[in-house]
Amino acid sequence: MSRILIAIGDSGLQADLAEMCETLSRQADCVDTVEEGVQRLKDQEYGLVLTDLCLRDGVGFELFDAVRSGCKVALVATKGPLTAAQHVLEHPRLCFLSAPVAQAHLEALVRELDDAHGLQARIRKWRKGIESGRCGPLVGQSPVMQEVFRRLALAGPRKAPVLIVGESGSGKELAACALHDLSPRRDGPFVAVNCGAISPSLMESELFGHERGSFTGATGTHRGYFEQADGGTLFLDEITEMPAELQVKLLRVLETSRVLRIGAEEERQVEVRILAATNRKPEEAIDEGKLRLDLYYRLKVLSVTLPPLRERIGDVPLLARCFLEEVTQREGQAREFSDEAMKALETHLWPGNVRELRNAIYTAYLLSDGVIEVEHLPETVTMEGMLNGEEDERLPLRIGATIKEMERRLILTTLRHMDGNKTRAAELLGVSVKTVYNRLSEYDMTETESATG
């Protein structure tokens, strides 16, 4: 619990503030000079400094250089030189309290301070987790996912909207949950809305609400998603599926923080952070008229792009074991992967991304008894039916796969066929050994991984 330093020259005001701090169960130290205040700040860590401009040997802003990072400064406005007041207005961690200070105002400031410290503690905990490959509900040790985690940690505590871009099944809602959990709004509601799952005729009512009798079937008053998410986070998934006329209204809400229910005469104030997601490339969606350019710029104050699983194939073993652990905790019986099953998981292109991998692990768990073998995996993963009994000689092609995807699969499959021997694999592929090493580096595969699958 953070200590409070009261650096006030007025003895009566100082005593009043000390009594309030005691009521709030906060330890407070009192000084009435700049010299003693600076020394206290050097010797002790404080979460809040309450000061005024009239200390016995100077003015309160002289303490600011000694205030540590993360400490809040509250100027108790009584009287003092105008030039000093102008100076402190520029201090980045400054807020104001009017004397005499109301108990409720100080209590609100202390509560805000506690929330900020709690948020910083969560961020530190998350950053520690990132080192082991976890960022809240997201998992990954590949460089691309580490960059995603870094951006989430930076964007989470902010108030600005965030646009999350990624293919279906790549974890966009999990990223939104992570941003909410890392924000000061984490104790508020998190409301997730799939814009593609709502009828266009009902979407305005669902988003903004309606009054009773405003249209046929409106038998009662309805609070829309914005009001439901007041004080928290509203996640708008598949934002490009929202009709263009509603995108205009959404833009206005983002600008004014006010919503108008259907049939209402007065707008309602809402305090909501907007997170939006799309599985389309935003630029293409704009060209196709699926996303308004002005809304795109308003949403993309901060952005996070989630890579498809095929671009972080080195994360498959970690993800697979995490999903297996989840199923084991739910079902109660332990399972493990055979080496061949893990190789099959790493070879698959995963067009359904992480969602497909999770479902494949669940299927394999249910079909296995102790050890998960290749035959327990879904046929879409093993593609045994496409090999015609010549597993060692032929490589199945998926219609729609890119040349880059097939090149990756060809190199990794050839390496496994050559028992991880890169020189022999390079000779068989007709490329240099350096090319093989370069490609493995791009695929985020270590030498051990490439040799063992």
Whether residues 238 and 327 share a domain: the answer is: no
Query: Distance (Å, rounded) from C-alpha 173 to C-alpha 335?
Result: 28
- The answer as to whether 352 is a domain residue is yes
Cα 273 versus chain centre, distance: 13
- Same structural domain, 399 and 422: yes
CATH number at residue 289: 3.40.50.300
Least confident range from 46-55, 147-156, 255-264, 280-289: namely 46-55
Interstrand relation of 28-31 and 190-194 (parallel, antiparallel or unpaired): unpaired
**pLDDT tens for each residue of 166-180:** 999 999 999 999 999
Is the same domain home to 375 and 416?
no
Q: What is the pLDDT of residue 295?
A: 96
Please report whether residue 187 resides in a domain: yes
Helices marked H in 26-102 — which ranges?
34-43, 82-88
- Mean pLDDT, residues 31-36 taken together: 90
Q: What is the pLDDT of residue 125?
A: 66
Q: Which of 121-125, 148-152, 409-413 has the lowest mean pLDDT?
A: 121-125
Is residue 164 assigned to a domain? Answer: yes
Are 398 and 350 contacting, i.e. CB atoms less than 8 angstroms apart? no
Looking at every residue in the chain, the average pLDDT score rounds to: 83
What's the CATH code of the domain at 373? 1.10.8.60
Same domain membership, residue 69 and residue 18: yes
Q: Is 200:243 a contact under the CB 8 Å cutoff? A: yes
Looking at the domain assignment, is residue 124 inside a domain? no
Q: Which of 54-68, 192-206, 366-380 has the lowest mean pLDDT?
A: 54-68
Q: Is residue 69 part of a domain?
A: yes
pTM of the model as a whole: 0.65
Q: Are residues 301 and 325 in the same domain?
A: no
What are the pLDDT digits (tens) for 340-355? 999 889 888 888 899 9
For residue 9, the model assigns a pLDDT of 84
- Is the model's pLDDT at 389 over the cut of 80? no
Domain residues for 61? 4-115
Cβ atoms of 61 and 144 closer than 8 Å: no
Sorted by sequence, the CB contacts under 8 Å of residue 228 that are 6+ apart come out as: 189, 191
Residues 393 and 366 in one domain: no
Q: Are 210 and 292 found together in one domain? A: yes
Quick one: pLDDT at residue 48?
86
pLDDT of residue 21 exceeding 70, the answer is yes
> In DSSP terms, which residues pair with 192 in a beta bridge?
235
Give the pLDDT confidence score for residue 385 in this predicted structure. 35
What is the predicted pLDDT for the residue at 448? 34
pLDDT-based confidence at residue 118 (cuts at 50, 70, 90):
low
The number of domains in the chain is 4
pLDDT of 80 higher than 80: no
The pLDDT of residue 255 is above 80 = yes
Q: Which pLDDT belongs to residue 163?
A: 97
pLDDT at 381: 84
Contacts of the segment 432-436: beta carbons below 8 A, 24+ positions apart: 436/411
CA–CA separation, 264 vs 255, rounded Å?
Answer: 20
Average pLDDT over residues 303-314: 92
Q: Which of 307, 335, 367 is the last residue of a domain?
A: 307
pLDDT at 69 over 80: no
Pairing of strands 138-139, 268-269: unpaired
| 49: CB partners within 8 A, 6+ apart | 4, 5, 7, 37, 41, 63, 67, 71, 72, 73, 74
152 and 225 in a single domain? The answer is yes
Q: Are residues 83 and 171 in the same domain?
A: no
**pLDDT for 280:** 92
- Reported as a single tens digit per residue, the pLDDT across 202-250 is 999 999 999 988 888 888 899 999 999 999 999 999 999 999 999 999 9
* Residue recorded with tokens 């983002």: 254
Residues 137 and 279 in one domain: yes
| Last residue within a domain, chosen from 333, 360, 382 | 382
Q: Is the pLDDT of residue 364 over 90?
A: yes
The answer to whether residue 123 is domain-embedded is no
E-state strands within 226-296: 233-237, 258-259, 268-269, 273-278
The residue among 59, 86, 115 that closes a domain is: 115
140 with 214, same domain? yes
Cα–Cα dist 29/148, whole Å: 43
302 and 450 assigned to the same domain: no
Angle subtended by helix axes 200-208 and 244-256, to nearest 10: 10
Residue 301 lies in a domain: yes
Beta strands in 221-362 (DSSP E): 233-237, 258-259, 268-269, 273-278, 302-305, 336-337
> Is it the case that residue 183 has pLDDT exceeding 80?
yes
pLDDT band with cut points at 50, 70 and 90 for residue 131: low
Does some domain include residue 26? yes
pLDDT per residue as tens digits for the range 259-285: 999 999 899 999 999 999 999 999 999
Beta bridge partners of 50: 6, 74
